Structure 1
Amino acid sequence: MRIHFIAIGGSAMHNLAIALHKKGYNVSGSDDEVFEPSRSRLKQYGLLPDVMGWNSDKITSEIDAVILGMHARPDNPELLKARELNIKVYSYPEYLFEQTRHKTRVVIAGSHGKTTITSMLLHVLKTLNKDFDFMVGANIKGFDTMVRLSEDAPLAIFEGDEYLSSPIDRRPKFLWYKPHIALVSGIAWDHINVFPTIEAYNHQFELFAQSIRPGGMLFYYGGDQVLAGIARKLKSATAVSYGEVEATTEKGKTLVKCGERKFVLKIFGRHNLQNLSGALLVVQKIGIGAEEFWAAMQSFDGAARRLQVLAENEDSTIFFDFAHAPSKVRATVSAVKEQYPQRKLVAVAELHTFSSLNRDFLPQYKDTLSQADEAVVFFNPEVVAHKKLPPITPEEVKMAFGAPRLRVITSPVQLEDFLSGLRIEDTNLLVMSSGNLGGIDISKIASRLIS
């Protein structure tokens, strides 16, 4: 098979390209810019385009299929040439479905927690030497790529994203997968640029639940009333709710009991206890016992950029987390404070996404930082302008968060000065961002603070 990727440098796209290369396919690709780590990884496998830019001459009748990434535009010259030659054009979620059409598909969706739950499942299956295909939205310890596709694996585990499939396919990615087993961890409005109302956003999850194969299974977090309403409407699939795993905390460690055995976990927080509860139901559905699950989970460090420990000593820890949406910020702050109630908590959140920098969406962040002892919000006005959004002011941010004493920083230099000047004895620092914090090196700052 000859497969050409348009916008091969994307996070999911370059991983899919590598997966198909490993499967023995003839893979080519193009992009107008490729950043790290995609650049080095594509180069490692001989897949990095020799020249950046689009070139319709790359598209010939010898190509069997084209996979189109979100970074490309609908008028991309390579896309137009592929259509002219009647070459099948796929979005990457559509192609994942085609590759796993005859496998049992497990899809993990939700506004928060989907990457972590998917990572939990992959970790358990790998630890138990199971054969499976997968796609996950983060790097996981022990895995070379974020995608695997094989001929023989009977099972496919996919993280189900509700964002658009491609520039010419406005459907959410997770509607392509048609799962036999699905899990939805919770719903909280996001992607305001695509779903301008809460109702429009919620409806995508109802469509996802309806896409489950007849006779299939939906596991969902029972504390979410929107999800409960969606579950009640299901006709052709069985819906089962879950809550939180019972656990105790001893010396900063989470302990779970199963039968007569106790298992010590590296992860913590109520949201992770919910994630664990859902993941346990999924693995039991595919034939893995509870004790096997907990034994494997003892070595689970978490997905990359999810409560990742940057530096620590006996009385302080510096965490980095991908949290950017309101529900994720609230859950992450709460997790750290509940796990270390005796320590002061300094929480720093960057507003970087289209939704978070939108004045109409900002009120969704009300009280999300309320459990922090000291809270800071950073946003870069240049990013606001780049996204062609109306300017926002520090005063508007303070009002939206419902925190008059909130410190709002709009300069990367000032942010670096603030972080570098912290005294963190008996203190945890939690930095949350899906961006790059204005280009500052948070890992270097963390090491300097701890030392």
Structure 2
Amino acid sequence: MRVHFIAIGGAAMHNLAIALHKKGFEVTGSDDVLFEPSVSRLNKYGLLPKEQGWYPEKITKDIDAIILGMHARVDNTELLKAQELGLKIYSYPEYIYEQSKDKLRVVIGGSHGKTTITSMILHVLQAAGKKFDYLVGAQLEGFETMVGLTHEAPVIIIEGDEYLASPIDRRPKFHLYKANIGVISGIAWDHINVFPTFDNYIEQFKLFIDTIQSGGRLIYSQTDEVLNNLVAHDDNNIAKLPYALPKYTIENGITTIISDGKKYPLQVFGEHNLLNMEAARLVCEALSVNTADFYNHIQSFKGAARRLELLGKNDTSNVFKDFAHSPSKLKATIHAVKIQFPKRKLIACIELHTFSSLNKNFLAEYSGTMDEADSAIVFIDNKTFIQKKIEPYQAETVTKAFSKKDILFFNDPQYLLNYLNSLKIANSNLLMMSSGNFGGIDLTAITNKLIKN
């Protein structure tokens, strides 16, 4: 098989390219902008384009499949050439399905926790010696790439994003996998630039449930009222398995699961992670891993990259980095740290970076989300407004939306850096949350300075 990637440098795209190369495919690709780690990874396997840019002469009739990334535009010259030649054009989720249509497909959906649930499942299956393929949205310890495809694995574990499949396919990605086992972790409005109303957003999860194959399973959080209502009105021929919080204790900053009279201390914490764990447990149970073995294996799970990642600590303080950016994720992450360390002050900083979080009409969704933080900071890099072509707004707009007294606002990375460096964090935890990079601030350097003071 010969496949060509248009926009090969994307996070999922370059990992899929490597996975297909390892499977024996002839892989080529193009992109007009390439960044690390894509550059190094593609170069390692001889897949890095010699020159950046689009070259329609690369598109020839002997290509079996074109895989189109979201970064490309509808007027991309390579895409136009492929359409002119009548070549088969796939989005990457469509091609993942093409490679897994004869396997058992587990698809993890939901507004939050997708990466963590997927990561937990992969961690346990690997520890249990199971064969599986996978697609996950973060780099995981013990896995070289974010996509794994083989001929022999009987099952594939897929993180099912609800964002759009490609520039010419406006369906959410998780609709395309046709799950045999589907997971929904919860529903909290996101991607306002694509789904302008909450009802429209909810509809995408209803359609996802409709794609679960007849006789399949839906595993869902019964703690989510919106999701519970959706499932209650569903009449598809599938089994519906709810999950809730397991029995647990917190002592000296360690969360311990209690199951069948046995104790299993964990390296992760937070009610949201315990819920994620129960979703993963039910999936693994469906894949012949019993509860005791699941909990034994999950004890060594350290978390997915950038999900409550511990940057550094001393005897009285921890510094965490987290991917939280939507209102539900922000609130859950702050609650997790506060409950885990109730005697410590919590300093929480959120960078608003996504289209949804920066949308002036969406800001009110953040009301009350930082109330549990003892000190709250909101950061928006002024350059992000420019890059995303969004009209900047004043500090008062942000602080009013969050509805928290004494909340701090910064729109310049240097001012934020100066403030962070001035902190005294004895008997405190610092929680830095963003899907961006805080304007290029070196969080490792800040952490090293703070925990030594």
TM range (shorter): over 0.9
What is the match of residue 345 of structure 2? 344
- For the pair 1:120 / 2:120, whether they are aligned, the reply is yes
- Name the CA distance, whole Å, in 2 between partners of 1:111 and 1:294: 25
Q: Secondary structure at the match of 1:382?
A: helix
- Name the CA distance, whole Å, in 1 between partners of 2:225 and 2:446: 41
What is the match of residue 393 of structure 2? 392
Shift of 1:396: 0.6
More displaced stretch, 436-445 vs 87-96: 436-445
CA contact (8 A) 2:128 2:289 kept: no
What is the match of residue 278 of structure 2? 277
CA contact (8 A) 2:139 2:304 kept: yes
More displaced stretch, 88-97 vs 228-237: 228-237
Instruction: Pick closer, same or farther for the CA change 1:20–1:387 going to 2, 3 Å.
Output: same
**1:376-399, CA deviations, whole angstroms, 9 ceiling, x for partnerless residues?**
000022211321222221101011
Shift of 1:261: 2.3
CA contact (8 A) 2:352 2:380 kept: yes
- For the pair 1:149 / 2:167, whether they are aligned, the reply is no
CA contact (8 A) 2:247 2:259 kept: no
CA contact (8 A) 2:104 2:156 kept: yes
- Name the CA distance, whole Å, in 1 between partners of 2:388 and 2:299: 42
Shift of 1:447: 1.4
What is the match of residue 241 of structure 1? 242
- For the pair 1:264 / 2:246, whether they are aligned, the reply is no
Shift of 1:252: 0.8
- Name the CA distance, whole Å, in 1 between partners of 2:423 and 2:38: 34
**1:5-64, CA deviations, whole angstroms, 9 ceiling, x for partnerless residues?**
000000000000010011111111100011111111111111111100000011111211
CA contact (8 A) 1:357 1:392 kept: no
- For the pair 1:297 / 2:304, whether they are aligned, the reply is no
- Name the CA distance, whole Å, in 1 between partners of 2:222 and 2:179: 20
Letter in structure 2 aligned against 1:53: G
Q: Secondary structure at the match of 1:276?
A: helix
Shift of 1:141: 0.8
Q: Secondary structure at the match of 1:375?
A: strand
What is the match of residue 56 of structure 1? 56
CA contact (8 A) 1:209 1:230 kept: no
CA contact (8 A) 1:218 1:240 kept: yes
What is the match of residue 253 of structure 1? 254
More displaced stretch, 161-170 vs 59-68: 59-68
**1:96-134, CA deviations, whole angstroms, 9 ceiling, x for partnerless residues?**
000000100001100001110000000000011100000
More displaced stretch, 152-161 vs 245-254: 245-254
Runs of 5+ in structure 1 lacking a partner?
none
- Name the CA distance, whole Å, in 2 between partners of 1:343 and 1:225: 31
Shift of 1:411: 0.5
Q: Secondary structure at the match of 2:343?
A: coil
Residue correspondence of structure 1 range 315-354 to structure 2 within 5 A:
315-354=316-355
Residue correspondence of structure 1 range 127-206 to structure 2 within 5 A:
127-206=127-206
What is the match of residue 407 of structure 1? 408
- Name the CA distance, whole Å, in 2 between partners of 1:316 and 1:309: 11
- Name the CA distance, whole Å, in 1 between partners of 2:120 and 2:414: 37
Q: Secondary structure at the match of 1:429?
A: strand
Shift of 1:146: 0.5
CA contact (8 A) 2:268 2:302 kept: yes
RMSD: 0.9
Q: Secondary structure at the match of 1:355?
A: helix
What is the match of residue 80 of structure 1? 80
Q: Secondary structure at the match of 2:74?
A: coil
What is the match of residue 24 of structure 2? 24
**1:54-102, CA deviations, whole angstroms, 9 ceiling, x for partnerless residues?**
0001111121111000000011010111111111000000000000001
CA contact (8 A) 1:329 1:368 kept: yes
**1:154-194, CA deviations, whole angstroms, 9 ceiling, x for partnerless residues?**
00000000000000000000000111111100000011110
- Name the CA distance, whole Å, in 2 between partners of 1:228 and 1:253: 31
More displaced stretch, 41-50 vs 167-176: 41-50
Q: Secondary structure at the match of 2:105?
A: strand
TM-score, structure 1 length as denominator?
Answer: 0.99
CA contact (8 A) 1:246 1:273 kept: no
- Name the CA distance, whole Å, in 2 between partners of 1:379 and 1:300: 32
- Name the CA distance, whole Å, in 2 between partners of 1:388 and 1:200: 24
What is the match of residue 95 of structure 1? 95
